[in-house]
Amino acid sequence: MPGTSNDPAIPKSPVNSGWSRRNFLKGVGAAAIAADTILQRVEKSAAADTVDPAAVDTPISGSIPITLNVNGRPRQVTVEPRTTLVSALRDRLDPAVTGPKVGCNMGTCGACTVILNGKPVYGCSILAIDAVGKQISTVEGFGTPENMSPVQAAMVEKDGMMCGFCTSGFVTSITALLRTNPNPTLDQVKAGCKGNFCRCGSYPHLFEAALTAAKNGGGRTGT
């Protein structure tokens, strides 16, 4: 079940991960300058993992080309400043990365979960430009139908899905958990999945799959 926004187990929004939409919009509203100059500043800021005040206070207008590192591959994509990461992955990339789903599109359901620099985040609650220079992992990067990751295989074995809409989000959150805690308790699994909803109520199967995956190698595979 979902916890509070302060719960460390819940994927982070830009608000509690260091960036804020308010600060970004402040920049968008200022006087216009060349987009490529802005992008350089944003990329520099992202690479340093710090917020460059110049990038925040300077406007970005129109669509801009950026490079996202998705599942170990650099991917060129053109986005608007307001484009969320999950929208960039699903709607802008060609070929698209559709593992992360859009359920609520407001940071509550977890269907859009991706791993960003090792931490699960809501892809609908972070801007694509904030992901520049960071490692983005989606469910596509964990395994293939022919060579599934331990979490993916356990999800099938334990019948962890009904409609399946939440599944990639759970697989991603569980994979992120097992990469930092290879042998979690049931309570730790529940905490690791607090940011994910399953409207079909498959929680017992999902948690059992997580514990089975831990026994079978956990989150060590994939990008």
Contacts with ligand FES by CB under 6 A lie at 102-105, 107-112, 122, 124, 161-166, 198-200, 202
Whole-angstrom Cα distance, residue 70 to residue 200? 29
- Closest distance of CB 97 from ligand FES, Å: 15
Which of residues 20 and 221 has its CB atom nearest to ligand FES in the complex? Answer: 20
Whole-angstrom Cα distance, residue 213 to residue 204? 14
Q: What crossing angle do the helices spanning 167-180 and 203-215 adopt, rounded to 10°? A: 40
- Closest distance of CB 52 from ligand FES, Å: 27
- Closest distance of CB 10 from ligand FES, Å: 10
Whole-angstrom Cα distance, residue 62 to residue 58? 14
Which of residues 103 and 182 has its CB atom nearest to ligand FES in the complex? Answer: 103
Which of residues 124 and 176 has its CB atom nearest to ligand FES in the complex? Answer: 124
- Closest distance of CB 205 from ligand FES, Å: 9
Whole-angstrom Cα distance, residue 189 to residue 199? 18
Whole-angstrom Cα distance, residue 24 to residue 10? 23
The number of angstroms, rounded, from the C-alpha of 182 to the middle of its chain's C-alpha atoms is 20
Which of residues 38 and 171 has its CB atom nearest to ligand FES in the complex? Answer: 171
